[in-house]
Amino acid sequence: MTISHINKITYDYTAGGVTTSKTVEVTESDGAEINLSHPITTDSSTETTDIDLLGFEFTLKAKAYSTYFLLTGFDGSLYANDSSSGTLMVALEDGIPYVWSDNSDGNFPPGAANKLVDGTVSLAIKPDAGSGTGTPGTITIKVLYDPE
């Protein structure tokens, strides 16, 4: 079964009271996907304590063709495995998604890259200082990949 993910970005630019719009999209297709949306809460006493997400495993980042990462509720960094010995994947601002598509090795949008890490066995979110204690949020992750 083929699954498709569409990465569409609309640029609206307003100057002199006139808005110019341009939509650019890339479609990626392959055989498997991960769709994760998980409620999370910062620690009740130390706001920067890691929030561990066990059970997310990804062996080879080269198998991915499209990714979407979104953190809502607070700013934080997403790590493969943990923030002390793991690898930083991406720093996320509250409500601003990080998107990437392979685009036949051209990377879309321009400047984006595949942030997945080989040998990932879990994820950790490290909330930024200023996130507050007991702050609710949600992490959303979508990955289109080759299951072979």
Which residue do the tokens 């979407």 mark?
A: 68
Domain annotation covers residue 126 = yes
If we measure between CA atoms, which residue out of 81, 68, 72 comes closest to residue 8?
68
- The pTM (predicted TM-score) of the whole model is 0.94
Domain annotation covers residue 6 = no
Domain annotation covers residue 7 = no
Pairwise CA distance, residues 72 & 94, whole Å: 5
Q: How many domains does the chain have?
A: 1
Between the alpha carbon of residue 135 and those of residues 23, 44, 97, the distances in Å are 35, 8, 19
CATH of the domain at 135: 2.60.120
Q: Does the structure show a pLDDT above 90 at 50?
A: yes
Q: Does the structure show a pLDDT above 90 at 83?
A: no
Q: Does the structure show a pLDDT above 90 at 86?
A: no
Domain annotation covers residue 140 = yes
Pairwise CA distance, residues 140 & 133, whole Å: 21
Domain annotation covers residue 13 = no
Domain that holds residue 107: 31-145
